[in-house]
């Protein structure tokens, strides 16, 4: 990553550079048992995320599943790697309509896309609010996560 603020380097995407309908395909992430257990031990230690045996015998899904927060973290990492690292981001604003559609299991290969839905230029604050629809799908092309995420991105002209 090269500097993102001073002088807005030409390769940095600012609020004015985005348009509704812009679509970005994400890279992919393969999740392992170890990934799932490690994340959940720290952030979401429910038995069906951390204890493979109990998850299999007692869990609703018949086996270990990833924490929903980890599924969101994977989406975030894929967006940073795929495009957000090139945006002049101020910070996140929020998330709406996030749905965990299918469980994420060890060995799943996740990928997906992000589509810019709406841009609200706020030149008096030097920023644009950008709302994006995002989707993560598994190796069977089943959506596992859908959401709308909003962030503030600097404007070039201010």
Of 30, 32, 96, 118, the one binding a copy of itself by CB under 8 A:
96
Q: Is 97 in the site for a copy of itself (CB under 8 A)?
A: yes
Cβ-proximal residues to 121 (8 Å cutoff; 6+ apart), any chain: 15, 16, 128, 155
Nearer to a copy of itself among residue 21 and residue 130 (C-beta)? 130
Q: Is 116 in the site for a copy of itself (CB under 8 A)?
A: no
Of 8, 52, 100, 106, the one binding a copy of itself by CB under 8 A:
100
- Please choose, out of 78-86, 107-115, 116-124, 129-137, the segment that lies near a copy of itself by the rule CB under 8 A: 78-86
CA dist 139 → 56, 95, 107, 127 (Å): 22, 25, 9, 37
Q: Is 53 in the site for a copy of itself (CB under 8 A)?
A: no
Based on C-alpha coordinates, what's the Rg of the chain? 18
Total residues binding a copy of itself (CB under 8 A)? 43
Give, rounded to a whole angstrom, the gap between the first and last alpha carbons of the chain: 22
Task: Give the dihedral sign, CA 47/52/55/57.
Answer: negative
Q: Tokens 């890279």 label which residue?
A: 27
Contact residues for a copy of itself (CB under 8 A)?
1, 3-6, 42-48, 54, 58, 60-61, 65, 67-69, 72-74, 76-77, 80, 84-85, 89-100, 103, 147, 154
């Amino acid at each position: 990553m090269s500097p993102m603020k001073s002088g807005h380097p030409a390769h940095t995407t600012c609020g004015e550079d985005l348009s509704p309908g812009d679509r970005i395909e994400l890279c992919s992430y393969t999740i392992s048992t170890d990934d799932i257990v490690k994340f959940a031990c720290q952030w979401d230690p429910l038995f069906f995320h951390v204890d493979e045996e109990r998850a299999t015998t007692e869990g609703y899904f018949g086996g270990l599943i990833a924490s929903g927060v980890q599924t969101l973290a994977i989406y975030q990492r894929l967006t940073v790697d795929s495009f957000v690292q090139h945006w002049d981001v101020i910070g996140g604003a929020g998330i709406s309509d996030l749905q965990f559609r299918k469980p994420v299991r060890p060995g799943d290969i996740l990928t997906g896309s992000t589509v810019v839905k709406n841009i609200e230029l706020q030149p008096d604050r030097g920023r644009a609010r950008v709302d994006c629809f995002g989707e993560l799908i598994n190796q069977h092309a089943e959506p596992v996560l859908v959401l709308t995420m909003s962030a503030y991105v600097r404007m070039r002209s201010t």
